[in-house]
Each structure stands twice: as structure tokens, then as C-alpha cells.
Chain A
Amino acid sequence: MSDTIFSANEWLRYSRHIQLSSFGADGQIKLKQSRVLMIGSGGLGAPVSLYLAAAGVGHITLVDDDDVDLSNLQRQIIFSVEDIGKSKVFSAKKRLLGLNPEIEIDAINQYFSIELALKLGDNFDLVIDCTDNFSTRYLINDYCLKNRLPWIYASIHQYSGQCALFVPTNKHADNNESNACFRCVFPDAPEDAQDCNSAGVIGVLPGMLGLFQANEALKLLSGLPTPLKNHLMLFDAKHLTLQKITLKASTGCLCQKATINLEQSTAPQVTCASTTADNSLTPDRFNLRRDDDNTAVIDVRSISEHQGFHIGGTHIPLDQLGERADELSPTVTHLCYCQSGKRSEKAVKLLLEKGFKAENLDGGLANWLKHAKDNNQI
């Protein structure tokens, strides 16, 4: 029994793969011998890591420096209530080994930086991008170009998702194959970066895109066809439409250069807009200010949001604020809040223009609640 690749338990565990046509024992052996680097253990990372672990990928390295937050549980189904406040990668490792103790998990509780990329080296068969920001994706791209590692990109926004498999061209190979890289598709980052957790996302979407990634990963590792190579998949969960765009390498792109200098890797600048103005309040400052006699709180969200949950104050939706301004006292300072701080910022601007005194709860109710939760106030 000891001269076999799999134990009896493993052979039983993976029997549905072993009996699967064009997968079989060959595919399962390849999975067991595979090393996968997963960058990001959030919305995409949860389904990808659960399915790769269940499938029997022999070695998975998880990289993320984030901690589990209550607002993650709407979609990051790998975590439980008891993980809140704890490291995502350590919590994920525990859960994955609970699911499949036959595999190895490395948990790296760090942000994927140039330094870490250099340290990790090239001892992987595949990299999976499960990050939530654009700048890290450019670094993943350059890291994979340098080490000629295939990588699977996915990203999500509201109801839409994108997914692609990038396979760096082997410049020493005889064939004239020239594959596109992420920079070929997106040489420019978006100006109004919405990767700041403010835009919202339907909870099943990272699950759907993550499973497209996991599907492509298992096929690539087990030697099955990977039609996503050199294609960008555009998926819309609202209308259930799916398009596959054929990509081609762009002349002059970094991927066409002979050597890649990872130390010089930079992302087109993406910055999160945040209010640093004098009339912006942190949750702590907001709590102090609302106890002052000369302040009044206004919730500028919609009626359903106000009914759903509020932290007091007068309710005047932003779109009615202009016409209802005469209801407001001209002497007190109006402390405005909304869900993310964006609408209330507009409300403050409007009130200031009309000659009122107004201040904004920065980051909105979402930030206020997170702060209160972190401080055991709720």
C-alpha cells in the first residue's frame, strides 16, 4: 500500500474525479503535485480556495494581510462569525484543512508587495488573482511575466464580472506564439477607481466568477483544454449575458520586452477619493459633535435605507434636501450621514452653498458601524 501515490482515504475522497472521463487518475495525480499561489483571500479567494482544496490541489499558498470583518460574511463564505477580527489567511487555512487534511496550505499574512513577490520566487504552477484592487493586478501581471507563470484574473463590480487566463509567452520556444498580458488589455487604470469597497456587489457574484477561475485552474493543472487563454470573459449577473473577447498581444507592451525588472514594477496610479476637508468627521468626532447643543443630525439616504436602519436624526433624502432646506435651523451645524459618505458629502456641499453650517460623517454609516463594532459599542 505504501508504494502508491494516494492513500486509500485519498483514493476514496477523489473517486468522482478518478471516474470522470478525460480527468481520471492522471488528472488527480497532476492536481496533487500542483502548487498554486492565491493572492487575496476575500470574495473571490473564498470560493476558489474552497474548491481547489476540495479538489485535491496538493499545495496552496494564500497571501492576504486583511482581517475578517462582519461585512465580509455577505459573500466570503469561507469565514464564520468566530473568525471576525482574525487574520483571513489563518482562518481560511483552518477551514481548508478541515475540508481536506490531505493537502498543504501555506498562509502568508502579508500584502502582496514587490518585496514579497521577489521572495516567493517561481516555484508555482499557477497564480490566481483574487485581489480587490487594480494596482496589485499589475504587480501580479509583472511577477507572472518575469517568472513565466500562468495566472487567472477575475474582478467584480456590482453585477458585472471579468475573467481571463494569461499565459506568458515562452520567448525561448520555437513557436511564434505571442500571448496577451493584462497590460495589453488594460494599459490604463480607471480614473474613478471603485475598488474602495464603496460601490457594492451582489453576494453571489464573487462566487460565480471565483468558480470560473477554479474551473479554469483545475483544467489547466490537470491538462484539460483552457479556452479562456487569450480571452477576456465579460459576465453580467443581472441579464445573464456572457461574452468572450479575443485578446492579442499589444506591440510595445511590457510583455514584449526581453527582460522584466520586477523591482521597477509600477501600476498606473489609482487613488481612492476621500474627503480630508475641514467639514469631514471621523466616527469618534461625529459621536462627540452630535452631543453638542448646537448640532443636528440629518440622514440623507432613501426612505427604505432609513427604515432599514438608522442612527437617529431627521430624515431628508438628498434629492429633497434643496426644496426642504427651509425646515432646517440656520443656527445649528447639520451633521449629515448616508451609507458610504458620498451622498452626505453632496448634502454638505449643498447646505454650505445655501449658507447653512454642515459637516459630513466620513465613510458614512458603513464606516461608523465598523468603528462601533471594532470598539465593541454594538
Chain B
Amino acid sequence: MNSDNASEDNASINILYFASLAESLGCECESFNLACEKVSVADLKQQLAARGEQWQRLINAPSTRCAVNQSLAEDEQVLASNDEVAFFPPVTGG
């Protein structure tokens, strides 16, 4: 899924979705263009949540965690071009 027209001027990031998120959102990974500078994890979540009810529910779930470049990230973290953002839910079975 590609949200905006790919443009060389825009910084793009890679987003990965894990486990039940990938399944429920029907998306395992995507390239995403950051529309402006200083986009934080919170801003990204807001943009993804705007895609629909399912996105809003899962991306904004308090239990959904986010990692940027394989490090656990909080909402305030600002994203840079070529960052790899991963969203993952807690998994509960055993």
C-alpha cells in the first residue's frame, strides 16, 4: 500500500506490521512518504489511523508497540528518511 505519490523530494520510510496486526490490516510492509519534516511516531500513527476504523483501532491500541530501526520507540520520536518503523502487538499464547 502506498499512501502518496512517490516523489524524490519526499523522505520515505519503511513500515512493517507484525503478527495479528499484519493479518487484521491486510498489510505486512509498505513504503510511506513523510509529507513534511519533523514527523514523529505520534504523527505517523495519526496518519495511519485516518485510513479507517480498523487502522484507527489497531494502531492506536495502547498495547500496540512501535520500534524504529529495531529499537523500541515512544510517540515523541522524530522519524528520518529511510527509517524502518515496525508496529507489533503483544502475543499472548503458549
Q: Do A and B associate with each other?
A: yes
**Interfacial residues of chain A within 228-248, with CB under 8 A of chain B in the complex:** 232, 234, 236, 239, 243-248
Query: A245: which B residues are within 8 A, CB to CB?
Result: 67, 70-72, 86, 88
Query: A236: which B residues are within 8 A, CB to CB?
Result: 18-19
Query: B62: which A residues are within 8 A, CB to CB?
Result: 187-188
**Interfacial residues of chain A within 142-175, with CB under 8 A of chain B in the complex:** 154-158, 160-162
Answer whether residue B61 sits at the interface, using C-beta atoms and an 8 A cutoff.
yes
Answer whether residue B45 sits at the interface, using C-beta atoms and an 8 A cutoff.
no
Count of chain B residues near A, Cβ 8 A: 22
Answer whether residue B28 sits at the interface, using C-beta atoms and an 8 A cutoff.
yes
A-B contact pairs, 14 of them (CB 8 A): A44-B94, A129-B94, A130-B94, A132-B92, A133-B92, A133-B94, A157-B19, A162-B88, A199-B93, A232-B72, A234-B88, A245-B72, A245-B88, A270-B92
Answer whether residue B23 sits at the interface, using C-beta atoms and an 8 A cutoff.
yes
A194 to B61, alpha carbons, bound, how many Å?
15
Known: A185-B72, A194-B20, A243-B86. A131 touches B65 (CB 8 A): no
A201 to B91, alpha carbons, bound, how many Å?
12
Given contacts A156-B94, A190-B63, A190-B92, 5 further A-B contacts (CB under 8 A): A157-B19, A161-B91, A243-B70, A243-B86, A245-B86
How does the 8 Å CB contact mask read for B13-32 relative to A, with 1 for contact and 0 for none? 00010111001000010000
CB distance from A238 to the nearest CB of B (A): 9
Which residue of chain B lies nearest to A206 when distances are taken between CB atoms in the complex? B94
CB distance from B25 to the nearest CB of A (A): 14
B20–A160 touching, CB < 8 Å: yes
Interface contacts (Cβ under 8 Å), in number, total: 100
Most chain B CB inside 10 Å of its own CB: which residue of A160, A162, A239: A160
Query: B67: which A residues are within 8 A, CB to CB?
Result: 243, 245-246
B93–A186 touching, CB < 8 Å: no
CB distance from A246 to the nearest CB of B (A): 4
The 9 closest A-B pairs by CB, nearest first: A195-B92, A160-B19, A132-B94, A188-B62, A190-B63, A157-B91, A246-B71, A155-B91, A188-B63
Which residue of chain B lies nearest to A131 when distances are taken between CB atoms in the complex? B94
Interface residues of B (CB under 8 A from A): 16, 18-20, 23, 28, 61-63, 65, 67, 70-72, 86, 88-94
Answer whether residue A311 sits at the interface, using C-beta atoms and an 8 A cutoff.
no
Count of chain A residues near B, Cβ 8 A: 46
Which residue of chain A lies nearest to B72 when distances are taken between CB atoms in the complex? A247
Query: A206: which B residues are within 8 A, CB to CB?
Result: 94
Answer whether residue A43 sits at the interface, using C-beta atoms and an 8 A cutoff.
yes
A188 to B16, alpha carbons, bound, how many Å?
21
Known: A188-B62, A189-B63, A190-B61. A156 touches B91 (CB 8 A): yes
Answer whether residue A278 sits at the interface, using C-beta atoms and an 8 A cutoff.
no
Which residue of chain B lies nearest to A132 when distances are taken between CB atoms in the complex? B94
Answer whether residue A363 sits at the interface, using C-beta atoms and an 8 A cutoff.
no
A187 to B65, alpha carbons, bound, how many Å?
10
B94–A160 touching, CB < 8 Å: no
Answer whether residue A5 sits at the interface, using C-beta atoms and an 8 A cutoff.
no
Which residue of chain A lies nearest to B69 when distances are taken between CB atoms in the complex? A246
Answer whether residue A42 sits at the interface, using C-beta atoms and an 8 A cutoff.
yes
Which residue of chain A lies nearest to B21 when distances are taken between CB atoms in the complex? A160
Answer whether residue A124 sits at the interface, using C-beta atoms and an 8 A cutoff.
no
B90–A190 touching, CB < 8 Å: yes
Query: A157: which B residues are within 8 A, CB to CB?
Result: 19-20, 91-93
A28 to B67, alpha carbons, bound, how many Å?
38
A180 to B67, alpha carbons, bound, how many Å?
15
A157 to B18, alpha carbons, bound, how many Å?
11
Answer whether residue A116 sits at the interface, using C-beta atoms and an 8 A cutoff.
no
A201 to B20, alpha carbons, bound, how many Å?
12
How does the 8 Å CB contact mask read for A26-65 relative to B, with 1 for contact and 0 for none? 0000000000000010111100000000000000000000
Answer whether residue A191 sits at the interface, using C-beta atoms and an 8 A cutoff.
yes
B91–A191 touching, CB < 8 Å: no
Most chain A CB inside 10 Å of its own CB: which residue of B62, B72, B91, B93: B93
Most chain A CB inside 10 Å of its own CB: which residue of B61, B67, B72: B72
